[in-house]
């Protein structure tokens, strides 16, 4: 990793990631969340003359990193999210890969330096989009949505116990434009010692909703498994319970075998050096059979952190498969 990039982000579980991926020369590796290359550049050293294909959704992060790349490098960087993995691999002319890594954490730069409101400690526009050229900013959602819609987002994605109270106060306090506007509202419902945790839950919920993170993760994992060679390894670092529960569902499917029986977590030493690593969990799987992605994405149990009614899901899959077969005829 270039020294000038280290100030932006410190990679989490780096040693453990390099070990679990079982890297060697000539491998093709996808870093689905390249960021500032904390993992990606180290992986590139291990697989050289193989290549690392990095996906980075944030255009500002992509610009900074791409400008720092040397003229000759085994890193191919793409300014797109991992939900477009099909398109990205086609662009670089590769159909199958040996390893895939997802690091679902946010860089320090994204939190502190983009001015998009990812930190409730700064008064900034409440945008929360990873790519400011895509989708609807959080403040627009809060200013148009009903109490019920806002409550559902806060409860579902932030597991916020006072979602109804906060949602009603948001609607009564419109317009909401900045992080400061929202922080004042959340603070009303909690004593000082609980306010930061409450705001973290609210910010998480809005960020997940605005960026459609869970559905994009679902699609990204499915596409990763599609392009991963049999015998290849998929590794995912998650940072909150919804992500971890989504990744954990993979162990219930026959096309992968868990490499890590339990998630790998940071050492006390790493946590003391990098407190943001505290909630990180690393899970890894080996692909053991080919995957039908179209059918997989119809199965709501796949990479879904929420309870699913199995009988209804099976009926839905059968209906959709019948429709697909009719279209193909």
Q: Which residues pair with 178 in a beta bridge?
A: 125
| pLDDT (tens place) for every residue of the chain, 329 residues total | 455 555 566 899 999 999 999 999 999 999 999 999 999 999 999 999 999 999 999 999 999 999 999 888 999 999 999 999 999 999 999 999 999 999 999 877 777 778 999 999 999 999 999 999 999 999 999 999 999 999 999 999 999 999 999 999 999 999 999 999 999 999 999 999 999 999 999 999 999 999 999 999 999 999 999 999 999 999 999 999 999 999 999 999 999 999 998 999 999 999 999 998 999 999 999 999 999 999 999 998 999 999 876 555 566 667 777 777 777 66
The structural architecture, per CATH, of the domain 3-109+214-290 is 3-Layer(aba) Sandwich (3.40)
How far is 227 from 95, CA to CA, in rounded Å?
6
Helices vs strands, H then E, count in the chain: 16, 7
CA distance 64 to 137: 23
User: Ramachandran region of residue 162, left (φ > 0), alpha (ψ -120 to 50) or beta?
Assistant: alpha
Residue with tokens 């390894």: 233
Termini Cα distance of the chain: 51
Going from N- to C-terminal start, the domains of the chain cover 3-109+214-290, 115-211
CATH topology of domain 115-211: DNA polymerase; domain 1 (1.10.150)
Q: Cβ of 319: how many Cβ atoms within 10 Å?
A: 11
């Amino acid at each position: 990793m270039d020294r000038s990039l280290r100030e932006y982000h410190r990679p989490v579980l780096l040693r453990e990631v390099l070990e679990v991926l079982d890297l060697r020369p000539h491998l093709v590796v996808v870093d689905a969340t390249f960021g500032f290359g904390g993992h990606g550049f180290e992986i590139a050293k291990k697989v050289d003359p193989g290549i690392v294909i990095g996906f980075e959704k944030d255009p500002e992060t992509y610009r900074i990193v791409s400008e720092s790349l040397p003229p000759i490098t085994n890193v191919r960087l793409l300014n797109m999210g991992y939900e477009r993995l099909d398109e990205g691999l086609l662009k670089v002319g590769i159909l199958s890969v040996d390893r895939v890594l997802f690091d679902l954490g946010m860089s320090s730069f994204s939190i502190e330096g983009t001015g998009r409101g990812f930190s409730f400690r700064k008064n900034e526009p409440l945008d929360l989009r990873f790519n400011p050229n895509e989708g609807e900013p959080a403040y627009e959602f809060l200013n148009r949505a009903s109490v019920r819609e806002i409550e559902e987002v806060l409860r579902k994605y932030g597991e916020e116990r006072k979602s109804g109270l906060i949602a009603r106060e948001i609607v009564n306090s419109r317009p909401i434009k900045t992080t400061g506007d929202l922080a004042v509202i959340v603070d009303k419902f909690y004593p000082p010692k609980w306010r930061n945790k409450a705001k973290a839950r609210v910010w998480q919920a809005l960020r997940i909703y605005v960026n459609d993170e869970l559905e994009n993760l679902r699609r990204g994992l499915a596409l990763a498994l599609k392009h991963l060679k049999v015998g290849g390894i998929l590794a995912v670092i998650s940072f909150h319970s919804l992500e971890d529960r989504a990744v954990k569902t993979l162990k219930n499917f026959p096309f992968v075998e868990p490499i890590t029986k339990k998630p790998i977590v940071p050492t006390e030493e790493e946590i003391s050096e990098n407190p943001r690593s505290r909630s990180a969990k690393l899970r890894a799987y080996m692909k053991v059979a080919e995957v039908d992605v179209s059918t997989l994405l119809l199965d709501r149990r796949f990479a879904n952190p929420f309870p699913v009614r199995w009988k209804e899901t099976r009926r839905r899959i059968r209906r959709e498969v019948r429709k697909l077969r009719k279209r193909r005829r």
